[in-house]
Amino acid sequence: MRTFMADTIGKVGEVVTVQGWVNSRRDHGGLIFIDVRDHTGVVQLAIRPEQAEAFALGEQLRDEFVISATGTVLQREESLRNPSIVTGNVEIKVAELRILNRSAPLPIQIQGDAVANEELRLKYRFLDLRRPKMQERLKQRAQYYRIMREYMDAHDFIEVTTPILANSSPEGARDFLVPSRVHPGKFYALPQAPQQFKQLLMVGGVPRYYQIATCFRDEDPRADRLYGDFYQLDLEMSFVEEGEVVRTTIEPLIKKLVSEFAGKELLTDDIPRIPYAEAMERYGTDKPDLRFGMELVELTEVVKDTEFGVFKNAECVKAICVQGASSLSRSQIDHFTEVAKSEGAGGLAYLTYKDGDVQSPIAKFLKPDELDAIKQALHAQDGDIVFFGADTRNVVNKVLGRLRNEFATQFNLKDPDVIALAWIVDFPFYERDEKTSKLDFGHNPFSMPKGGLQALETEDYLGIIADQYDMVMNGYEICSGGVRNHSAEIMYKVFGILGFNEQYVDERFGGMINAFKYGAPPHAGCAFGIDRMFMVLVGEENIREVVAFPKNGSGVDAMMQSPNTVEVMQLDELNLRIIEH
């Protein structure tokens, strides 16, 4: 029977067999020491010349050879113990050694602190996964899933798997399409979310549903978003007409993950509910990081009579006060100016409070009473800098929201041991597309407008509020949900406002629309992005660090060499051809 490395400390005097990878080899002339590793740790093997066969094999060993060793566990002499490893007080005196497999020289280093670049690590991910940190992440992820399932099962949710081959659905991203061989010219779509299926489960009489669902979206990869496939804790509850029911049902699970799983501190046990409009005005974003203050302060009325052209000609003027920012260098302020410009600002105006005075290129354009009013509104003190945004309200919020986050990073205001949660509620049902100026859905068409059908009888479509909510964790959106539209009449109406007729709705969502006609109960739910949430909880900054086999930053699986070309015969079977550009 195989003995794991960590278990050898309790088997002094016993004969054991350990199996694993060679971590290191040290030849001391008449004695060979091998550190051998498995998923539980490392133990030292001692191979002596009198074990001639084992000694001869020991001389052949190199890093990452896979071996099996049988011998007696001995207590090490006190002067030879290694306190840096769990098994440092014991070693195995080897009687028999077998080489189970050999290893070529490694293309990446997996021992020590030196880590290869990401591209190489992903190409040789099977080696990268041997690193203790990656092994720990995989174990943590299994525990993370276990806590979720235990909670959902204890709260009467039924785990149901939904189809992977589905129909195209407007979830806000591009679909991955799968051509049908048996239905030429038609396509399946890999689901961006199990949205329609989980609503159909509610119509089907399932009281509470959940699954750890695989979802697919053809979105550009970034540090907090995987390319291709990702995972959601997806859930739905029937006979629910208020989003607060879902929020209060699932909150304890997230708190449990924060405290018991991640061992981190909640900023506040009372998770705030912040309306979308308020979040945008106070923080400049619908996913605010609440671990620090630095809120946006409205100054439009304060400077309404100013002669300073930048403020005078702006629809909206706001500012943030960055405490201690007078220590910033000119080059650092130039960097933040470029950040502001990247978000649509023309520049970055500021006032520096230093040595009891106001220092700034714009101070001379502002009257003394305006300077006093600004200082008072921002509660600015000596050593602070007040940064301004002056433009349309949307641009100002966007610019200062981004700067708020950048300044918090600059001044180490994001405590990694604290988790700040918030629910963002009352999202706009419709929004105006910035590029086309056309009306479109704010999120997706499956949420219920607050007020139901009556709320849609208006010409102020941008004023319609969706019964939709997101959960935010340390500045990341980790959950999106809503009270669902369970009425065919309302579904036709919300699409009709955008110019789509009933035939279009029937073609795209016929299965769900048809089901709604046969006694659909009110229902609500949400879905947590469990990769992103796990990333935040374990303190990683790149989501690819928490998944076993992610695509790289270009959406390529460098290890499996996908995507790739296929045989012409396969294309013929699918009635497809490649058009050369």
- CB 300 within 8 Å of CB 311: no
Tell me the pLDDT tens digit for each residue of 436-445.
Answer: 889 999 887 8
> Burial code of 226-251, b = ≥16 C-beta within 10 A, e = fewer?
bbbbbbbbbbbbbebeebeebbebbe
> What is the per-residue pLDDT for 459?
86
Question: Strand, helix or coil at 436?
Answer: coil
Q: State residue 507's pLDDT score.
A: 87
Instruction: Give the 3-state DSSP-derived string for 361-421, with helices as H, strands as E and coil as C.
Output: CCHHHCCHHHHHHHHHHHCCCCCCEEEEEEECHHHHHHHHHHHHHHHHHHCCCCCCCEECE
Please check whether residue 299 is in contact with residue 281, taking contact to mean a CB–CB distance below 8 angstroms.
Answer: no
- The C-alpha atoms of residue 296 and residue 574 are separated, in whole angstroms, by 55
Q: Low-confidence residues of the chain, pLDDT below 70?
A: 169-172
CA 77/CA 91 separation, integer angstroms: 10
**Local structure of 475: helix, strand or coil:** coil
Distance CA 580, CA 118 (A): 32
* pTM confidence score: 0.91
What the chain holds in terms of domains, given with CATH numbers, is 5-101 (2.40.50.140), 135-273+420-547 (3.30.930.10), 292-413 (3.30.1360.30)
* Residue 27 to residue 274: CA distance in whole angstroms: 65
* Spatial separation of the C-alpha atoms in residues 511 and 264, rounded to whole Å: 44
Pairing of strands 439-441, 385-391: unpaired
CA distance 348 to 391: 11
Return the SS3 of 541. Answer: coil
Instruction: Examine residue 563 and say whether the peptide bond preceding it is cis (omega within 30 degrees of 0).
Output: yes
- Token pair recorded at residue 70: 């049988």
Token pair of 193, please? 């979310």
pLDDT at 170: 60
d(CA 198, CA 446): 12
Strand partners, 320: 387
pLDDT value for 409: 96
Residue of 304, 425, 441, 302 whose CA lies nearest to 373: 302
Beta carbons of 3 and 18 less than 8 angstroms apart: yes
CA-nearest of 4, 11, 44, 12 to 28 is 44
- Alpha carbon distance 501, 76 (integer Å): 80
Please tell me the predicted confidence (pLDDT) of residue 172: 64
Q: And the tokens for 334? A: 């130039």
Q: What angle do CA 546, 40, 124 make, to 5 degrees?
A: 45
Which residues fall within 8 angstroms of residue 310, CB to CB, at 6 or more apart? 346, 349, 362, 390
Q: How far apart are CA 398 and CA 341, in angstroms?
A: 11
